[in-house]
Amino acid sequence: MENQKKLIIGLFGFGVVGEGLYKVLQQTPSLNASIKKVCIKNYGKKRNAPASLFTTDKDDLLNDLDINVIVEVIDDADAAFEIVKTALLNGKDVVSASKKMIAEHLPELLELQKQTGRSFLYESAACASIPVIRNLEEYYDNDLLHSIKAIVNGSTNFILTKIFEEGLDFKEALLLAQQSGFAESDPKLDVEGHDAVNKWSFLLTHAYGIIENPSEILFNGIQNIHIADSIVAKTKNRQIKLVAEAKKLSNGKVAAFVLPQFVNDTDPLAFVKNEFNGVVIESSFADKQFFYGKGAGSFPTASAVLSDISALRYGYKYEYKKLYHHQPHQLSDDFFLRVFVSFDNLSFIPRNRFEWIDEWHIGEERKYLTGVISFSALKESNWWKENGNSLILLPDSIIEETHTRKIKKRSLELAGIA
Ligand code: HSE
């Protein structure tokens, strides 16, 4: 098209995603976009692109007046923020894949977008190839969105699949995730749930207008899951997944967290294997919808970066509709969760913190219980992440009817159990 804006890109980072983007762009000449310079940390490594393309000086990109788009795919969150900030202030549009940076700096990034009027797009930062941000932003109206349940981290899903379905041990599975380019440079970020909660924090902004630092959202990873937990799951026709969940409560607020969950074999999320991600959205009229696609890896992530670059041709910006045009939602602590907890040592289980306990299985080598606990009780202390304890949510875990709780508690008291 004649009048299409020519996009001259300055690319920061040439790792798994950066190199993927370079290759993908070469195969997409119709986009009318080309990379002018790539900024890397050191020249040392051999790279599959002409040496003249590379620089180690960020100003070669940020101060180049020809470059109108900065694409930033590095994994140092602090450096990434400085790059994005300078690029926006220098009048450039920005595409980023830095989940941690976006999660930690969202309020400043919102201000910078207002101040500069430039586009800042980051579809690849959550669920890679699945267009979840643009869908939440454009398609779903605030009032209609009842809940979202999602697998947002490819590495942990890959590891769970390899351990529980293919019999690999944890180290082998993690190594394979690293070799495939799915894992973060520090894989603890994946395994302990940090990456998932980072993504969840800004998905909550696009879904519900919630601005919350990830450190304030309750989360765990897969590090405590015990092999015996998967045996319990199998006997009940369930699988264990790391699930990010948000649900609108009857008090108008939103329950949100990232925790391991048992999902029934019939649940769409049970079909999500390996590095795939999945998002199940429930809304008033559309009912249930399921998005599925690769959530990590070079080309799937580059495909989302490419889609953002393409959107810049027509000046696309996130409007943050749920934040600016609707009444933003707040998070709630006022609900209860149905949980499974497995453990080695009963003395590390604070029984009095539970509303009630439904099942005790303390005859087995690996003991477990199921019961109901308030969300606030989980927030108050970390006993459920420590001393070999493993907490996994049961399906349909969220309970809000407190009268049910009171009745149950009363009946246990009358029976002399509570
Ligand atoms: N380490 C991330 C994951 C990469 O496994 O999901 C994609 O964000």
Q: Phi and psi dihedrals of 245, rounded to 5? A: -135, 145
Q: Phi and psi dihedrals of 191, rounded to 5? A: -60, -40
Q: Which atom of ligand 1 is nearest to the CA of 155?
A: 5
Is 195 touching ligand 1 by the criterion CB < 6 Å?
yes
Q: Which residues pair with 270 in a beta bridge?
A: none
Q: Which of 100, 50, 27, 15 is nearest to 306 (CA)?
A: 27
C-alpha–C-alpha distance, residues 167 and 368, integer Å: 23
Give 6 Cα–ligand 1 centroid separation in angstroms.
31
- Contact between 301 and 23 under an 8 Å Cβ cutoff? The reply is no
C-alpha–C-alpha distance, residues 121 and 71, integer Å: 10
Q: Which residues contact 417 (CB under 8 A, 6 or more apart)?
A: none
- Contact between 356 and 409 under an 8 Å Cβ cutoff? The reply is yes
Is 18 touching ligand 1 by the criterion CB < 6 Å?
no
Cα-based angle 397, 401, 404 (whole degrees, multiple of 5): 100
Name the helix (H) or strand (E) containing 36.
Answer: strand 33-39
pTM passes above 0.85: yes
Domains (range + CATH), the chain: 2-125 (3.40.50.720), 133-292 (3.30.360.10), 335-414 (3.30.70)
For the stretch 172-202, what's the b/e string if a residue is b when 16 or more beta carbons lie within 10 angstroms of its beta carbon?
Answer: ebbebbeebbbbbeebebbbbbbbbbbbbbb
Q: Which of 24, 105, 107 is nearest to 71 (CA)?
A: 24
Q: What is the pLDDT of residue 144?
A: 83
Is 296 touching ligand 1 by the criterion CB < 6 Å?
yes
CA 403 to chain centre: 33
Q: What is the pLDDT of residue 1?
A: 46
Q: What is the pLDDT of residues 4-63, one digit of tens each?
A: 679 999 999 999 999 999 999 999 988 989 999 999 998 878 899 999 999 999 999 999
Residue 118 vs residues 62, 113, 123, 376: alpha-carbon distances, Å: 15, 6, 16, 40
Q: What is the pLDDT of residue 389?
A: 98
- Active-site annotation holder among 100, 149, 162, 199: 199
In terms of C-beta density within 10 A (0-12 exposed, 13-18 middle, 19 or more buried), how is residue 12 classed? Answer: buried
Q: What is the pLDDT of residues 94-150, one digit of tens each?
A: 999 999 999 999 999 999 999 999 999 999 999 999 999 999 999 887 668 999 999
Q: Which of 124, 111, 121 is nearest to 75 (CA)?
A: 124
Is 155 touching ligand 1 by the criterion CB < 6 Å?
yes
- Contact between 263 and 236 under an 8 Å Cβ cutoff? The reply is no
Residue of the nearest CA to atom 7 in ligand 1? 296
Q: Phi and psi dihedrals of 241, rounded to 5? A: -135, 155
Q: Can 367 be counted among the known catalytic residues?
A: no
Instruction: Enumerate residue ranges in the chain where pLDDT < 70.
Output: 1-4, 142-143, 402-418
Q: What is the pLDDT of residue 141?
A: 73
Q: What is the pLDDT of residue 100?
A: 98
- Ligand 1 binding pocket mutation candidate from 155, 161, 176, 199 (most atoms within 8 A of CB): 155
